[in-house]
């Protein structure tokens, strides 16, 4: 379905993801109307002061539903557990839905319950929902009525790990160790003392070390790609920056592959998967600058930087190889509010409506 002049609803327009979605949609040439929802009294521009002068106004969720016949697509930026109760009312009117919560990321209600502690109220939609990493699932996204947008940690880690884990070189029997640091916007816009500036500045705040809710999602997606049952040891923390995701993973290689691998082999593997520069996947770029060649040199710029992707829909990747231990190292960085949420959601919208995938997302990091 090719479209322009889209009328877009944003359910849950007060939070960081909803605000970022509106910011990006305002610059999208195919979007005609944006209707963000709120149950509060605060005007849109006071809630999102970076969008002062944009002219958007909140409507209530009930008002948005009343205008359902005029909508083309609705984004849900609501807490997990809310979208599943209302999504079908939009689908029944022919409106396509992109859910940024976790409500439709799993194919069965038992896995959803185990990860999020909730009973799913629309289990019949779980098998219809398409998991929305456009780079890996483009054709299914294109024809979908309902797209489940990935979690911010998950899309970053999956884009970083997919080429290596599907190459036949990685040892998949042991747990995959993934360390990830998120900006404080990843803690939501609800005030929390520990992520206030005086507490987080100059610090790292580990959380959910007993098991992060994105670990089952990561196991589910990577397991489907590799056709293996995987265990992911996901260790998460908030850093003293507002936005960004930093993922670092160590992947042991099979003994049969170790003597055949160096950094250049890994770089070639990733270029084959994603292309060089913008020749392949536009938003996935390999940070492949040469090292100085000096022993123990701290060549910081050969690896991706969170600051380099801030405000953009890009995922920057870096790969290296610890030859003495046979371990491949993968680094992936994204902006948690863009590629990790609103940007990938718009990329999915573009795919669904047969628009250029980069439309409204052409800008580089700030």
Q: Which residues of the chain have pLDDT under 70?
A: 1-3, 189-191
| Whole-angstrom distance, CA of residue 353 vs CA of residue 90 | 17
Residue 158 phi/psi, 5° resolution? -65, -45
Alpha helices in 173-328 (DSSP H): 197-200, 214-226, 255-258, 263-274, 306-309
Take residue 229 and report the two structure tokens written for it. 């049952």
The burial class, CB within 10 Å (0-12 / 13-18 / 19+), for 18 is buried
Query: What pLDDT shows up at residue 188?
Result: 72
Half-sphere exposure of 307 (CA within 13 A, CB side): 2
Domains of the chain: 6-128 (3.40.50.720), 154-335 (3.30.360.10)
C-beta separation of 135 from 339 below 8 A: no
| Residues annotated as catalytic (active site), given as ranges | 152
Alpha helices in 242-352 (DSSP H): 255-258, 263-274, 306-309, 343-352
SS (H, E, C) 170-216: ECCCCCEEEEEEECHHHHCCCCCHHHCHHHHCCCCEEECCCCCCHHH
| Whole-angstrom distance, CA of residue 127 vs CA of residue 315 | 28
C-beta separation of 17 from 10 below 8 A: no
Query: What pLDDT shows up at residue 189?
Result: 65
Q: Name the residue among 363, 312, 348 with its Cα closest to residue 148.
A: 348
Strands in 73-76's sheet, in edge-to-edge order, are: 31-36, 6-11, 73-76, 96-99, 146-148, 130-131
| Whole-angstrom distance, CA of residue 294 vs CA of residue 203 | 31
| Whole-angstrom distance, CA of residue 257 vs CA of residue 288 | 22
Model pLDDT for residues 136-179, shown as the tens digit of each residue = 999 999 999 999 999 999 999 999 999 999 999 999 999 999 99
Q: Name the residue among 167, 169, 168, 137 with its Cα closest to residue 154.
A: 137
pTM above 0.75, yes or no: yes
Query: What pLDDT shows up at residue 309?
Result: 98
C-beta separation of 122 from 100 below 8 A: no
| Whole-angstrom distance, CA of residue 255 vs CA of residue 190 | 48
Take residue 221 and report the two structure tokens written for it. 């997606």
Half-sphere exposure of 270 (CA within 13 A, CB side): 27
Q: H or E element: which one contains 157?
A: helix 152-165
């Amino acid at each position: 379905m090719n479209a322009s002049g889209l009328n877009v609803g944003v359910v849950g327009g007060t939070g960081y993801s909803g605000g970022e979605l509106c910011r990006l949609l305002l610059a999208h040439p195919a979007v005609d109307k944006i209707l963000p929802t709120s149950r509060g009294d605060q005007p849109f521009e006071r809630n999102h002061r970076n969008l002062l002068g944009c002219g958007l106004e909140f409507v209530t969720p009930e008002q948005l539903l009343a205008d359902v016949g005029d909508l083309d697509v609705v984004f849900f930026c609501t807490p997990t557990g809310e979208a599943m109760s209302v999504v079908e009312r939009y689908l029944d009117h022919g409106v396509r839905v992109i859910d940024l919560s976790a409500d439709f990321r799993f194919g069965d209600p038992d896995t959803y319950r185990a990860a999020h502690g909730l009973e799913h109220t629309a289990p019949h939609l779980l098998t219809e929902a398409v998991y929305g990493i456009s780079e890996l699932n483009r054709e299914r996204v294109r024809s979908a009525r309902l797209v489940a947008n990935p979690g911010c940690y998950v899309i970053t880690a999956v884009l970083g790990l997919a080429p290596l884990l599907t190459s036949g070189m990685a040892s998949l029997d042991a747990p995959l160790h993934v360390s990830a640091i998120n900006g404080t916007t990843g803690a939501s816009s609800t005030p929390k003392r520990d992520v206030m500036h005086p507490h987080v500045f100059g610090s790292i705040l580990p959380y959910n070390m007993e098991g992060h809710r994105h670990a089952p999602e990561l196991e589910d997606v990577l397991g489907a790609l590799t056709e293996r049952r995987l265990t992911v040891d996901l260790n998460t923390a908030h850093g003293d920056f507002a936005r960004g995701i930093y993922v670092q993973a160590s992947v042991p290689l099979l003994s049969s592959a170790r003597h055949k691998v160096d950094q250049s082999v890994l770089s070639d593997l990733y270029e084959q998967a994603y292309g060089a520069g913008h020749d392949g996947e536009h938003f996935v770029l390999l940070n492949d600058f040469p090292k100085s060649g000096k022993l123990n040199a701290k060549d910081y710029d050969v690896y991706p930087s969170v600051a380099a992707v801030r405000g953009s829909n890009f995922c920057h990747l870096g790969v290296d190889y610890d030859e003495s231990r046979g371990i491949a190292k993968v680094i992936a960085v994204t902006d948690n509010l863009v590629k990790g949420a609103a940007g990938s959601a718009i990329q999915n919208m573009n795919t669904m409506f047969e628009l250029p995938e980069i439309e409204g997302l052409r800008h580089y990091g700030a």
